[in-house]
Chains A and B, each alone.
Chain A
Amino acid sequence: MPAFDRRHLLGLAAAATAGMPAPTEARPLAEVLSSRRLRAGINPTLPPMGLFNERNQIDGFDADIAREIARRMNIELEIVQVGSPDRIPFLQADRIDIVLGSITRTVERAMVIDYTVPLHTQSMVVLTKSSGTAVPINAPADLNNRAARVVQVRGTVGIPWLQANAPQAQVTLLDNYPDCFRALAQGRADAMVDVAESILIPMRNFQVPWKILDQVLASFWVGIGVQKGNASLRDVLNVILFEMHRSGFVNTTWEKYFGAPMTTPIPFNPMF
């Protein structure tokens, strides 16, 4: 190994921590309007929220919502492709103005980004198979068993639920939904706890006797994310979302992609 000085190392460590580029200020409403362009970050690997259509363009529920928002603001929409781990850095680096993609509202996240009023809800359920599981899983409580193998996407809301309600289950965390479905299909796992909205459509790509337990374990609210402190943009988005709920646009678009209304409806609320 080449001889190298300890001081270089300290310098490197210091650069890695202290010298990080300062987060860039978000564009307030006035700048978005004068550029005549709203940049929306959409994750195309979450069908039907975000997906690639047959022309390989980003489409889906979130894209329809973003297009409608831009139309109501009378500006153009620019869709920017984002992934799960990089979507928040995209927002903080001011590469996008808003971010969509099933961003469940939590306290930890609300300290980092600002949320609009809810766009849609999510209902957490247990996905399992009607045959071929290590132990029979007919109720959520059946997961609390040393023999129950559960697979989860990293950072999803099912993980804290499992820690609290099924601490005995063996949990494997994978990177994305296709890997989790494949693990279930190959018999590597017996169940998955996640929001129905994230699994209903993509699970159809796998030939498995899927079974979803009836119990809804919890409901979550999903808003649109803006950079922390960008109140001028968020306030307008709140009014637009209220109008989109009132006109029925959100529910119509939802049913276009899911074929059914939201499991947990959004209460009509003009106060926000």
Chain B
Amino acid sequence: MTAETQVAVAFGVNGVAQRLEVGPGETLLRTLRDRLRLTGTKEGCVEGECGACTVLVDGKPVDACLFATAALDGRQVRTIEGLSGGGALGLLQQAFVDHGAVQCGFCTPGFLMTLTALLEENPSPPPSDVKEALAGNICRCTGYRQMIDAVAAVIAQGEPR
């Protein structure tokens, strides 16, 4: 059995460069919440089922609970904290508020990150793509109708995010 060794890793979080020494099996979720105090990313199932911890790595949605921080060298991470500029909500965030798409709010950051990735990939996805994109995010309060309405409103405005 080899000893636990720390791994040097350099990556960006919401545009800010980070240089850390982490354990080989430390997850991005622990790094974000416990080291960087970015607690908007939520811990749900810790097995890749619920999507509450979704963040973007190089623009792609991933479950931070299953992502090794040591694997991030040279990559860019975006979290829910990166969606609002100077305290103002992004378009998608505001649309969630306007459409009553937030109830307890625990799943909301994950949904917003997945939808951000979707709208950056395709600013006007058909409704079937929206539903398919959200397969890996679970909400137990509102149902999904209000969220899908919120996305539709953003798409109708013709601007991503």
Physical interaction between A and B: no
Interface residues of B (CB under 8 A from A): none
